[in-house]
Amino acid sequence: MHKRLFAVFSILLAAAFVLSACATQTPAAPAPTEAPAQPAATSAPAATSAPAAQSCEVYYLNFKPEVADVYAKIADEYKAETGNTLKVVTAAAGTYEQTLKSEMAKSDAPTLFQINGPVGYQNWKDYTADLKDTDLYKHLSDPNLAVKDGDGVFGIPYVVEGYGIIYNDAILSKYFAMPDAKAKSIDEVNTFDKLKAVVEDMQAKKGDLGIKGVFSSTSLKTGEDWRWQTHLMDLPVFYEWRDNNISLAAAGADNFKFQYADQFKNLFDLYLKNSTTAPGLLGSKSVDDSMAEFALGQSAMVQNGNWAWGQISGVQGNTVKPEDVKFLPMYMGMSGEEKQSIAVGTENYFSVNKQASPEKQKCAEDFAYWLFSSPKGKSFVTNDLKFIAPFDTFADNEKPTDPLAKEVIRYVSNKDLYNVAWDFVKFPGQAWKNDFGAALLQYAQGKMSWDDVTKLAVTEWPTKYGQ
């Protein structure tokens, strides 16, 4: 008897632990129905088009931890100006999907959230409302940027970003001033061959230049490898689809041969061999490590996007001056790449929760419009969030002024160059990216041949589609 009791007890105990490890939300006893908002604050119909007759609450699940503080200020301002409440919850870096999954299951679910493009839309299409009649969509400078399905518009991009090779102009100028330098100015570096010659020569002279390596660590730690498996990978895929006339709408499970694998390898090898860190140690390096190396002047170049400025300037004891931080396109040996620009696009789309009440949906739409159209909202976007917003409500002098954002704007306005579109929004999904990233790490460590890496990328592409 005693024995049996003990056995039963231990099973229960085990069950408790097992389930708490993978516990989902408790199905929550029918939560108290939403308290009827605030006692209608004295409505202050400011410059907003939204009638603030009835105050309402917006629940926004924020994707960008680096601007979480800004949203707190925005919430205060929004309350003061319209009397509406803005509740912002920020998901920790890399946990947006899981936070969204659990928050959406609550009775007080986010009304405004974001999806990362067509693939994210597939997963959340039961929740994304049609936004084609909203004011925000009408002011989108290029309607093609939105996530669409048939006639409907289900995601509106709210920030345009660009990435490429960020370089430290002070270090490069020092190199160009050397008598036997392979180039005399950055303008000469417009192909992979030239880039390679300069980088390898710089690496050989790293002592004279006062750096540990030309490129920052190629961070390949699990979860820190998105700069390679997503951003770098975007280029070969972009060219493959462009050269085979595959439109982004048609792109999908069947359309990937990795025909520019050699070009990908060109640049990836350059990163690995001319780095601050030995290839065998890259499995422990994070993006933060890479950016810190750049900020401290230990490296001259790092591949990342304009969002990284906050990280660079935030490093203690950083030696990089704002005017020295510039972008270079990612040359990898494509024909005609002299005209290639940096990669500008977006993977941040606002979506409104279809399953919320119509009033709440309206509140969410009104807030999004307020943020990107009212003077106060726009000032937050430009000066605090530092977003390059893709809406025609912004005048030319209302663009962010940090050095990398200015670089993105400079590249976009250079009409001689062609943009590298963010085709990675049509990549199979996180499972494929993770596997590919892990393969890249093993390649860097010398434990996997390049042929096996490309084979894995190609064979998994269709099977992991949409996962």
Question: Residues in the site for other proteins, rule: CB under 8 A?
Answer: 3, 6-7, 10-19, 21-27, 97-98, 101-102, 104-105, 119-120, 122-124, 126-127, 220-223, 278, 280-281, 283-284, 355, 429-431, 434-435, 438-439, 441-442, 445, 447, 463, 466-467
- Nearer Cβ to other proteins, position 113 or 192? 113
- Nearer Cβ to other proteins, position 380 or 443? 443
Return the beta strands (E) in 180-267 as ranges: 213-215
- Nearer Cβ to other proteins, position 127 or 264? 127
What does the block give as tokens for 26?
């408790």
Cβ atoms within 10 Å, residue 195: 25
Segment (H or E) for 304: strand 299-305
SS3 309: helix
User: CB-based burial of residue 163 (10 Å sphere; 0-12 exposed, 13-18 middle, 19+ buried)?
Assistant: buried
Q: How far is the CB of 413 from other proteins (least distance, A)?
A: 36
- Using an 8 Å Cβ cutoff, are 135 and 365 in contact? yes
**Quick one: angle between helices 450-463 and 261-273, nearest 10?**
130
Q: How far is the CB of 86 from other proteins (least distance, A)?
A: 23
Do strands 147-149 and 57-62 pair parallel, antiparallel, or not at all (unpaired)?
Answer: unpaired
- Nearer Cβ to other proteins, position 391 or 465? 465
Q: How far is the CB of 301 from other proteins (least distance, A)?
A: 23
- Nearer Cβ to other proteins, position 49 or 355? 355
Q: How far is the CB of 256 from other proteins (least distance, A)?
A: 18
Could you give the residue ranges of the DSSP H alpha helices within 296-335? Answer: 308-314
Cβ atoms within 10 Å, residue 299: 27
- Nearer Cβ to other proteins, position 25 or 401? 25
Query: What is the distance between the alpha carbons of residues 198 and 215, in angstroms, rounded to a whole number?
Result: 12
Do strands 213-215 and 349-352 pair parallel, antiparallel, or not at all (unpaired)?
Answer: unpaired
Q: How far is the CB of 361 from other proteins (least distance, A)?
A: 17
Q: How far is the CB of 293 from other proteins (least distance, A)?
A: 16
**CA nearest neighbour of 61 among 71, 70, 51, 52:** 71
Q: How far is the CB of 281 from other proteins (least distance, A)?
A: 5
- Nearer Cβ to other proteins, position 122 or 141? 122
Q: How far is the CB of 395 from other proteins (least distance, A)?
A: 39
Query: What is the distance between the alpha carbons of residues 86 and 95, in angstroms, rounded to a whole number?
Result: 22
Segment (H or E) for 155: strand 152-157
- Nearer Cβ to other proteins, position 56 or 119? 119
Q: DSSP assignment of 259-294, as one string?
A: TTHHHHHHHHHHHHHTBSS-GGGGGG--HHHHHHHH
Query: What is the distance between the alpha carbons of residues 306 and 344, in angstroms, rounded to a whole number?
Result: 10
Q: How far is the CB of 89 from other proteins (least distance, A)?
A: 15
Q: How far is the CB of 25 from other proteins (least distance, A)?
A: 5
Q: How far is the CB of 128 from other proteins (least distance, A)?
A: 11
Q: How far is the CB of 417 from other proteins (least distance, A)?
A: 34
Query: What is the distance between the alpha carbons of residues 379 and 384, in angstroms, rounded to a whole number?
Result: 8
- Using an 8 Å Cβ cutoff, are 211 and 319 in contact? no
Q: How many helices (H) and strands (E) does the chain have?
A: 18, 11
> Using CA atoms in the order 336, 160, 113, 365, what is the torsion angle rounded to 10 degrees?
-130
- Nearer Cβ to other proteins, position 189 or 220? 220
Residue 388 exposure: Cα atoms within 13 Å on the Cβ side? 21
What does the block give as tokens for 286?
């994070």
- Nearer Cβ to other proteins, position 75 or 220? 220
- Nearer Cβ to other proteins, position 45 or 94? 94
Return the beta strands (E) in 26-140 as ranges: 57-62, 85-90, 112-115
- Nearer Cβ to other proteins, position 355 or 414? 355
